[in-house]
Chains A and B, each alone.
Chain A
Amino acid sequence: MRRGITATALAAILALAATACGSDGDSGSAGGKGGELSGTVTWWDTSTVGSEDKVFKKLAEGFTAQHPKVKVNYVNVPFGDAQNKFKNAAQSGSGAPDVIRSEVAWTPEFADLGYLAPLDGTPALKDEKDFLPQAAASTKYAGKTYAAPQVIDSMGIFYNKKIFKEAGVEVPGTVAELKSVSKKIKEKTGKTGLYLRGDDAYWFLSFLYGEGGNLVDAASKTVTVDDPAGAKAMAVVKDLVDSGAAKTDATDGWENMQASFKDGDVAMIINGPWAVADTYGGAQFKDKANLGIAPVPAGSVAQGAPQGGHNLAVYAGSKNLDASYAFTAYMTSAESQAKVAEELSLLPTRTSVYERPEVAKNEIVGFFKPVVDKAIERPWIPETGSLFAPLVTEYTKVLTGQTTPEKGVTSTGDAYRKLLKGWK
């Protein structure tokens, strides 16, 4: 009953919004029509707690300076739980945020489930042309745009220069070199070479791409994870762990990875721009120059890292759509992105931001931009966000010796075919 009333009210508000004096939510300039946006915008941020979240919170609350009547309610939801939390809330229609920071693979899925408001023609998408095409790709679904790209990222090797110097080694360019470098580091310093996350299949992708494999091929509607390349990639990561070149965990991977790298227990991790601010907080990186970043090691066939990132999407059931649109525009505006790039070294999604001097001189952005340009896109289909669950189970099973690489990818492939009806 209440829901019926809400729906009616929303329809009324929408009708009003459509006919009322065009609220162009001009949040870029201070000359916006004062006091026409009001209410509360709840934003679920999923950034790393303790480093990124402070910056985003401050930035989000800065929205109130432009729209004094809008209160921004900043909530940080751990990235690992956010997809499920949002689904729970969005489906029941209670407790969902107005705006969510949606990972690129989640965006088409949420859109497909009907949880997101289409943004075409709303103030949320300002200067659409300015967005990098790669970043905009994941926001489109079934001919509409459901989100505004906030940051884009990829992965690289983070390494501890001090340990490398001590062991007298160079940054490995291939998986084979990674093994020999790790061995030398172990001999010279007693430390482990690489911490490889074993509880998140995203960390497996660069090895899969390196062997010339991929999860699925959307163009020919084929599941490709169980190709020989997939099995080979599983064997490669298993060998890294078994040979002692890398260590891994089946739980708490993120915490363990960051802790052991920051304390100097391991020499390398594979990570992305989102981990930079957190890594600088570690004892080993008081001197920021000690952190080196290099491209992910190449496999036997190619060298590739996944393209990731985050979008801001507006919940279709939001009680405050207008303010949410304006907030989305504000958070993804060139000024906001420049600030975030400067403080957190996250990569902007707007071409124009890269030209700003304060962004252009940021080394990390400078390093990752070419990596992102070459990064491998996943197909932006609703199921993309579902591909990791079956994979991570098998990936962990392979690493802990419960199944063979071949069986692992076969089971994953079977699960994918169940998910993607009619795919080969």
Chain B
Amino acid sequence: MAVHTGPSVAPAADGTPVRGRSRGAGGPAGKTRPPGGLRRALSVHWYAWTMVAPVVVVIGVIIGYPLLRGVYLSLTDANERNVERNIGVNHLPATYEFVGLDNYTDALTGSQFLGTLGWTLVWTVSCVSVTFALGLGLATLLNRRIAGRSLYRMLLILPWAVPGFVSVFAWRFLYNEDRGLLNKLLAGGGIDAVPWLNDPTWAKFSVIAVNVWLGVPFMMVALLGGLQSISGEMYEAAEMDGANARQRFRHITMPGLRPVSTTVILLSTIWTFNMFPVIFLLTRGGPGEATQILVTQAYKFSFEISPRDYAQSSTWGVLILVLLMLFAAVYRRVLRKQGDTW
């Protein structure tokens, strides 16, 4: 999880589920004998339809079309060599073919997708849980009157204020095995250099550390807001009843934070699952493929290997979307069962 660093660069079908279906044609134009219900709806609510038409069109163009195109490409064998190209004097028609669900069976039966998915889940769960724990700890610390409270808050929000790629590059310099500051500090303490980004296990640890560092401010601010909305009287009452600090935290703070924490956990899970910049800029998915998550691997298919495999990339993109939609649906259902209003 982390700050949302601008529009994602991942190819094709990516992004959070869109509300509402896109309609190719916005508005009532060009209808031939619509059924009665529709006609009535149009005649009564024509004004409303006209008002939403531009939005529907825009969403259709910038989200709907690429999404559908991505889904379509995932059912073909499109790659760089067989898509249509118009280059000056050379016109090359498209020659890719429809292959049905082959790409999906390849992905779901091959070891690469499942292996990458495994690491992506580890990465998501560890990033979100550590970020949440740290954010909650810091928020609790800052939720009392201490000298210089606003200064601390300012400083702790800093990672969020710096553009994502700048921080990631800064970390990349820190991690450098021979010339990085981290290993220089360790050497000062007489400890051998750590191959931060050159050893598969350390690299996994390193990317998680950077992502946590980037994500904590958001968690902290959100949870601090949640903490401040819990009324002080509850704590006073609990104290009168003889509850100690730990019990107060468990029975008042945690339930009081629920509306906030469930939301930030959902958001940060989705963000972390698709956290392209941290992985891409820190390790490029390396060493080997050790830190490659689903999105960076999909990007690699589409932009780094040659010939570029658009079909496989789209397949992975669609699978990512399906996974996240499933997760969001299950998550909401669980919460609703527990009586949360969503």
A401 to B283, CA, bound (A): 17
Give the complex CA separation of A10 and B89 in angstroms.
7
Shortest CB-to-CB span from A24 to chain B, Å, is: 21
Assess the A389–B85 pair: CB atoms within 8 A: no
Q: Which residue of chain B is the closest to A408 with respect to CB atoms?
A: B288
Question: What 1/0 mask marks residues of chain A from 251 to 292 whose CB sits below 8 Å from any chain B CB?
Answer: 110001001100001000000000000000000000000000
B307: chain A residues at CB < 8 Å are 113, 386, 419
The answer to whether B303 and A250 have CB atoms under 8 Å apart is no
Q: How many A-B residue pairs have CB under 8 A?
A: 111
Task: Answer yes or no: B178 CB below 8 A from chain A CBs.
Answer: yes
Nearest A residue to B177, CB-CB: A249
- A256 and B179 contact, CB distance less than 8 A: yes
Distance in Å from the Cβ of B69 to the closest Cβ of chain A?
A: 15
- Contact at A250–B178, with CB atoms within 8 Å? no
Asked if B176 contacts A114 (CB within 8 A), the reply is no
Contacts A7-B88, A396-B286 given; does A250 touch B198 at CB 8 Å: yes
Contact A389 B305 (CB under 8 A): yes
| Contact across chains for A93 and B306 when beta carbons are under 8 A apart | no
Q: Is B308's CB under 8 angstroms from A117's CB?
A: no
B81 at the A/B interface (Cβ < 8 Å)?
Answer: yes
Q: Are B88 and A117 in contact (CB under 8 A)?
A: yes
Quick check: B288 and A114 within 8 Å, CB to CB? no
Is A88 in contact with chain B by the CB < 8 A criterion? Answer: yes
B87 close to A109 (CB less than 8 A):
no
**B86, A386: Cβ atoms under 8 Å?**
no
Residues of A within 8 A of B85 (CB): 91, 113-114
Interface segment, one of A61-69, A224-232, A312-320: A312-320
Q: Are the CB atoms of B288 and A317 closer together than 8 Å? A: no
Give the residue name and chain of the B residue nearest to A85 (CB): B303
Q: A199-B286, A397-B287, A403-B288 are in contact. Are A385 and B306 (CB under 8 A)?
A: yes
B198 touches A7 (CB 8 A): no
Give A251 to B285 CA distance when docked, in angstroms.
10
Q: Closest residue to B305 on the A side, CB-wise? A: A389
- List the A side residues contacting B91 at CB < 8 Å: 7
In the bound assembly, the distance between CA atoms of A382 and B172 in angstroms comes to 35
Report the minimum CB–CB distance from A23 to chain B (whole Å): 17
In the complex, what's the smallest C-beta–C-beta distance from A112 to chain B, in angstroms? 7
CB of B176 within 8 A of CB of A256, answer yes
The smallest C-beta distance from B190 to any residue of chain A, in angstroms, reads 16
The verdict on A176 contacting chain B, using a C-beta distance below 8 Å, is no
CB distance from A355 to the nearest CB of B (A): 38
B-side contacts of A251, CB under 8 Å: 172, 197-198, 283-284, 286-287
Provide the residues of chain B in CB contact with A83, threshold 8 Å. Answer: 306
Distance in Å: Cβ of B35 to nearest Cβ of chain A: 36
CB of B87 within 8 A of CB of A93, answer: yes
Find A400's partner among B88, B287, B305 (CB 8 Å cutoff): B287
Asked whether B290 lies within 8 Å of A402 as measured between CB atoms, the reply is yes
The chain B residue with its CB closest to the CB of A415 is B305
A393 CB–B CB distance under 8 Å: yes
Given contacts A113-B81, A393-B289, A400-B287, contact A249 B198 (CB under 8 A): yes
Task: Check if B97 is an interface residue, CB within 8 A of chain A.
Answer: no
Interface of A is mostly: helix
Interface check B102, CB cutoff 8 A? no
**B contact patch SS:** loop
- Bound complex: CA A248 to CA B287 (Å): 12
Which chain B residues (154-196) contact chain A, with CB distance < 8 Å?
A: 172, 176-179
B contact residues around A401 at 8 Å (CB): 200
Interface size range of chain B in the complex: 20 to 34
Residues of chain B within 8 A of A55, CB atoms compared: none
B203 contacts chain A at the CB level, 8 A cutoff: yes
Q: Chain A contacts of B88 at CB under 8 A?
A: 7, 10, 117, 315-318, 321
Count residues of chain A with CB under 8 A from any CB of chain B: 49
Residues facing A in B67-84 (CB within 8 A) are 80-81, 83
Q: Is A3 an interface position by the 8 A CB rule? A: yes
Complex Cα distance, B247 from A206, in Å, reads 67
Contact B289 A316 (CB under 8 A): no
Per-residue interface assignment for chain B, residues 270 to 311, with 1 indicating a CB less than 8 Å from any chain A CB and 0 otherwise: 000000000000011011111000000000000111111000
Chain B contacts for A112, CB-based, 8 A: 81
Asked if A14 is an interface residue, CB under 8 A from chain B, the answer is yes
Interchain CB contact (< 8 A) of A316 among B90, B179, B286: B90
Q: Give B309-332 as 1s and 0s: 1 = Cβ < 8 Å from A's Cβ atoms.
A: 000000000000000000000000
**A252–B172 contact, CB under 8 A?**
yes
Residues from chain B with a CB closer than 8 A to the CB of A169 are none
Q: Report Cα–Cα, A252/B203, bound state, in Å.
A: 14
Q: Residue among B81, B87, B179, B290 with the most chain A CB within 10 A?
A: B87
Contacts of A88 on B, CB cut-off 8 Å?
303
Q: Are A3 and B306 in contact (CB under 8 A)?
A: no
Q: Is the CB of A90 closer than 8 A to any CB of chain B?
A: yes
Tell me whether A114 and B87 are in contact (CB under 8 A): yes
Q: Judge whether A90 and B303 touch: CB under 8 Å.
A: no
B308: chain A residues at CB < 8 Å are 87
A residues within 8 A CB of B179? 256, 259
Q: Which residue of B lies closest to A3 (CB)?
A: B86
Whole-angstrom CA separation of A118 from B186 in the bound complex = 57
- Contact of B234 with A by CB under 8 A: no
Selected contact of B289 from candidates A14, A84, A397, CB within 8 Å: A397
**What chain A residues lie within 8 Å of B90 (beta carbons)?**
114, 316
CB distance from A64 to the nearest CB of B (A): 24
User: Once the chains are docked, how many angstroms separate the CA of A90 from the CA of B179?
Assistant: 38
With a cutoff of 8 Å between Cβ atoms, the chain A residues found around residue B284 in the complex are 251
Q: How far is the CA of A14 from the CA of B88 in the complex (A)?
A: 10
Which of B83, B288, B306 lies in contact with A402, CB distance below 8 A?
B288
Instruction: Give the contacting residue for A11; candidates B89, B198, B199, B304; CB below 8 A.
Output: B89
**Cα distance A397–B291 in the bound complex, in angstroms:** 12
Residues from chain B with a CB closer than 8 A to the CB of A3 are 86
Specify which chain B residues have a CB less than 8 angstroms from the CB of A91 in the assembled complex.
Answer: 80, 83, 85, 87
A5 to chain B, nearest CB (A): 12
Q: Which of A247, A265, A400 contacts B199 (CB 8 A)?
A: A400
Given the interface contacts A112-B81, A251-B284, does A386 sit within 8 Å of B306 by beta carbon? yes
Q: Which residue of A84, A88, A113, A115 has the most chain B CB atoms within 10 A of its CB atom? A: A113
A-B contact pairs, 8 of them (CB 8 A): A10-B88, A115-B87, A117-B88, A250-B287, A252-B172, A256-B176, A260-B178, A397-B289
Q: Which residues of A contact B (CB under 8 A)?
A: 3, 7, 10-11, 14, 83-84, 87-88, 90-91, 93, 109, 112-115, 117, 198-199, 247-252, 256, 259-260, 265, 315-318, 321, 385-386, 389-390, 393-394, 396-397, 399-403, 419
Task: List 9 extra interface pairs beyond A10-B88, A198-B198, A393-B288, CB under 8 A.
Answer: A7-B86, A10-B89, A87-B80, A91-B85, A251-B197, A251-B286, A256-B178, A317-B88, A389-B305
Q: When A and B form their complex, which 10 residue pairs have the shortest distance between CB atoms, in order from nearest?
A: A250-B287, A317-B88, A397-B288, A316-B88, A114-B90, A386-B306, A400-B287, A317-B87, A316-B87, A250-B198
